Structure 1
Amino acid sequence: MERQHYRLEVKSQQAQVIRILDSKSIQYELIDISVGGELRDEMRNKAGDPTAVPPQLFNEDQYCGNYEMFSDAVEADTVEQFLKLA
């Protein structure tokens, strides 16, 4: 049951990120790390955190941050700076 709650939370966070990026007309590529451990390991390596969980945000190969950091940037209206676009 706890695993299902975790999955729902991740899906909810991902949907929130997508809504915000779409509302700001920011282009992005979704990478589904559930298809293989190799992609998950690559995400964690790039994030510099062996326990990182999605969603994690990157600008190309440059790590921007996790969902909480993104959420803070949304509240501060600094999403473009957070995503290293500005």
Structure 2
Amino acid sequence: MPVKVFYSSASGSMETKKRQERLFSVLTSKNIPFEPVDICQNLEERDLMREKAGNSAALAPQICNGDVYCGDFVAFEEAIEMGQLEKFLRI
């Protein structure tokens, strides 16, 4: 099952856009299959993302593997720095 990345195609935040690009770039460069889920196209997906994150105000990007919540962008970056990306993504 591919990693699911909840993202926002209509974010007005440059930082959010950069974070999403970085996340997609890393996953692509490491040949890690992922499914991008645009929370702007479907509010049910946004609600699902927030439910999985356990935070009713969570913002994209958020990462899951199946039904298991992996973390947000900050946790993703920390996993890369620690050399534990696969463990973080549960793959």
The TM-score by the shorter chain falls in which range? 0.7 to 0.9
Match for 1:82 among 69, 76, 88?
Answer: 88
State the SS of the aligned residue for 2:71: strand
- Larger strand proportion, structure 1 or 2? 2
Runs (5+) with no aligned partner, structure 1: none
TM-score of the aligned structures, taking structure 2 as reference length: 0.83
Would you say how many aligned residue pairs link Structure 1 and Structure 2? 81
Identity %: 40
Structure 1's consecutive aligned runs of 4 or more residues displaced over 2 angstroms after TM superposition are: none
RCO higher in structure (CA 8 A, sep ≥6)? 2
Deviations 1:26-73 (A, max 9, x none): 000000001132211111001111111000000011100000000000
Runs (5+) with no aligned partner, structure 2: 1-10
Indicate the residue corresponding to 1:13 in structure 2: 19
Q: C-alpha distance in 1, partners of 2:55/2:21?
A: 23
1:44 aligns with 2:50: yes
State the SS of the aligned residue for 1:50: coil
1:35 aligns with 2:41: yes
